[in-house]
Homo-oligomer: A and B are copies of this chain.
């Protein structure tokens, strides 16, 4: 049995996922949009958020958990903000629209904030903040995760999700600075990947209900994730989660649906995206040159013993993307088998 990943070009990933989503019931245009964003996630190195999620999405669509013809619409609006009703459509469609509206509002007001309710899982946070870079804007995004994986600090009832935060900042000569982080030590997608590959987790990712380290990824259901910096990561996840969830009328805390266990209930996922129009603050080229300067200062600074080089957020992703654009996205044999089953179930050709 091979354990070597084969490489699949992005275009093939897009066409495969488009076919799969159409076969599952999505309109062709929407399927194409979602598939392209998912494949982009794979190219950028978000391995837990691209084609890996396809079987999950297909299962949810087939179970009736997604509105295939959503009326994505603005519920509330002021010049610099909007609350968007995702109407239980695919999260990728809802958050893309939120990013578009945020950019439009930032263009006139300098700042645009769009909160979302009745959305769904939308892949990696970085996808959406990156959309703002082409408008010469800075993006900030947060989401309520689609399953609760951690208790409040010191507790044992899982009331919080990994609530990711992403920020994208453009530069000129260097890749953009793109932070995309769960407020937990590890994202749950990484735990799932370890479980699928039968690999152990490092100590510090999870603890069990006694507070002891949990390293067996297949037993992830028996424990919970740890927040970064203890009480601080709990506080960040809680407050950004309130901004992404409660403030938009989306699910939070005990109302969060575990989308791994329940494929049919409406998740009422909440997200927000903030766009800052750099031109409102200063000359755009001047700003980008200054971000190049930040890159230069960090990269040229001396390292600790045993550290090769300083990295900036988004740097690894830029390198991975360069490699994957040239050589394709690596598909692990275990994932290949899961995708083959998914394709067979839908009656389409395998990847």
Query: Could you tell me the distance in whole angstroms from the C-beta of A98 to the nearest C-beta in chain B?
Result: 14
Contacts of A311 in B (CB 8 A): 153-154, 231
CB distance A169 to B229 under 8 Å?
no
CB distance A232 to B181 under 8 Å?
yes
Contacts of A83 in B (CB 8 A): 281-282
Query: Could you tell me the distance in whole angstroms from the C-beta of A240 to the nearest C-beta in chain B?
Result: 8
Interface string of A37-79 (1 = CB under 8 A from B): 0000000000000000000000000000000000000001111
Number of copies: 2
CA separation between A138 and B318, bound complex, in Å? Answer: 35
**A79: contacting residue among B76, B108, B169, B235, CB under 8 A:** B108
The answer to the question of A249 belonging to the interface, with a C-beta cut-off of 8 Å to chain B, is yes
**A307: contacting residue among B154, B185, B293, CB under 8 A:** B154
CB within 8 Å for A278 and B247 given contacts A110-B81, A111-B80: yes
CB within 8 Å for A238 and B312 given contacts A78-B109, A252-B294: yes
The answer to the question of A320 belonging to the interface, with a C-beta cut-off of 8 Å to chain B, is no
Interface string of A306-329 (1 = CB under 8 A from B): 110111110000000000000000
CA separation between A243 and B138, bound complex, in Å? Answer: 9
Nearest residue (CB) in B for A298 is: B152
The answer to the question of A174 belonging to the interface, with a C-beta cut-off of 8 Å to chain B, is no
Query: Could you tell me the distance in whole angstroms from the C-beta of A261 to the nearest C-beta in chain B?
Result: 20
**A179: contacting residue among B167, B169, B239, B281, CB under 8 A:** B239
CB distance B108 to A78 under 8 Å?
yes
The answer to the question of A151 belonging to the interface, with a C-beta cut-off of 8 Å to chain B, is yes
The answer to the question of A143 belonging to the interface, with a C-beta cut-off of 8 Å to chain B, is no
Tell me which residues from 100 to 128 in chain A have a Cβ below 8 Å from any Cβ of chain B: 105, 108-113, 115
Query: Could you tell me the distance in whole angstroms from the C-beta of A76 to the nearest C-beta in chain B?
Result: 6
CB distance A157 to B304 under 8 Å?
no
Nearest residue (CB) in B for A81 is: B110
List 14 additional A-B contacts (Cβ < 8 Å) besides A110-B113, A155-B307.
A80-B105, A81-B109, A115-B281, A151-B301, A153-B311, A154-B311, A155-B301, A155-B304, A177-B238, A177-B239, A177-B242, A211-B305, A246-B287, A247-B282
